[in-house]
């Protein structure tokens, strides 16, 4: 195992807890592979599991890390910062909570911050772009948060439709995407995320499609075409397919915008709908206890 970033000693999980987490993680991985099999034939087999470690101790995260897990998600800035200091540098941290601009500098100070999945304003994008250290060697991946369910309790921008993209005035999604690509050189627009209405997944049968997932995919497809055509951000093409070079958007491997949708209770439905990233917490670590960090 790689050494941690500090000399802080992490109390190891018990043998029983270690076995429990490993069993759950192995089960989630198997279910992800199974749910994604239908898409694998089309060359879309690459799926990212973000283990949501909110409120969980570093000992639990270390169990997953030692079992090959590298992507972890946190909802609170201070919690992510504290854990990043204790845990291996090879971890790729995803911030998946609501980000306030006054917390951007603290979050950006984490050297192995990999992705911020909840960007919904130019103010936050600007704050992150400005706060990233000059010695950082790679762009910070960001996802635009889309409110596909239209619920007031959820953050995010309104999804795109074919009619909205044909309007003479840019939508909020277009404006923010363009701003990040053209004015935030330290950020890379990697894709879109949503927290859909849970009842759509729980009530749907095998033949029904989750409307929130479909809205996010439609928004992704529309935005991707607009980025390629509307602001001149076409991709260079290599023998292995699309390769994004210097444009600040798209997955570095495929050049396509990724979608992050699906959590512990509905990640299989999300994967079958075409999700690239799933955020699984309870399914790996079990039910959450109480909040340990007061800062967000």
Question: Among candidates 114, 80, 117, which has minimal Cα distance to 96?
Answer: 117
- Which residues make Cβ contacts (< 8 Å) with residue 241, sequence separation at least 6? 254, 255
* Model pTM score: 0.89
Q: What is the pLDDT of residues 187-207, one digit of tens each?
A: 999 999 999 777 766 665 555
Between CA 96 and CA 85 the distance in angstroms is: 19
Residue 205 has a pLDDT of 52
Min mean pLDDT across 11-25, 41-55, 133-147, 199-213 is at 199-213
Q: What is the pLDDT of residues 258-293, one digit of tens each?
A: 999 999 989 998 998 899 999 999 999 998 554 544
Residue 196 has a pLDDT of 78
């Amino acid at each position: 195992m790689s050494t941690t970033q500090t000399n802080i000693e992490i109390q190891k999980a018990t043998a029983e807890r270690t076995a429990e987490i490993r069993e759950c993680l192995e089960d989630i991985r198997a279910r992800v592979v199974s749910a994604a099999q239908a898409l694998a034939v089309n060359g879309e087999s690459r799926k990212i599991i973000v283990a949501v470690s909110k409120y969980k101790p570093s000992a639990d995260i270390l169990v997953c890390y030692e079992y090959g897990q590298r992507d972890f998600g946190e909802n609170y800035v201070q919690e992510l910062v504290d854990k990043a200091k204790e845990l291996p540098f090879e971890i790729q941290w995803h911030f998946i909570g609501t980000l306030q601009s006054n917390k951007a500098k603290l979050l950006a100070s984490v050297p192995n911050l990999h992705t911020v999945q909840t960007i919904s304003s130019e103010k936050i994008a600007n704050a992150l772009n400005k706060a990233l250290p000059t010695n950082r060697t790679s762009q910070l991946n960001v996802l635009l948060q889309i409110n596909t369910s239209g619920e007031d309790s959820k953050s995010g921008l309104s999804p795109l439709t074919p009619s909205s993209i044909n309007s003479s005035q840019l939508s909020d999604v277009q404006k923010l995407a363009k701003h990040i690509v053209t004015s935030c050189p330290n950020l890379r627009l990697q894709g879109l995320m949503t927290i859909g209405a849970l009842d759509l997944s729980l009530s749907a049968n095998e033949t029904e499609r989750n409307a929130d997932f479909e809205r996010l995919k439609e928004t992704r497809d529309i935005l991707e075409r607009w980025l390629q055509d509307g602001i001149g951000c076409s991709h260079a093409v290599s023998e292995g397919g699309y390769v994004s070079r210097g444009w600040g958007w798209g997955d570095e491997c495929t050049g396509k915008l990724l979608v992050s949708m699906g959590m512990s209770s509905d990640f299989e439905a999300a994967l079958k709908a075409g999700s690239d990233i799933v955020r699984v917490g309870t399914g790996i670590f079990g039910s959450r206890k109480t909040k340990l960090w007061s800062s967000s």
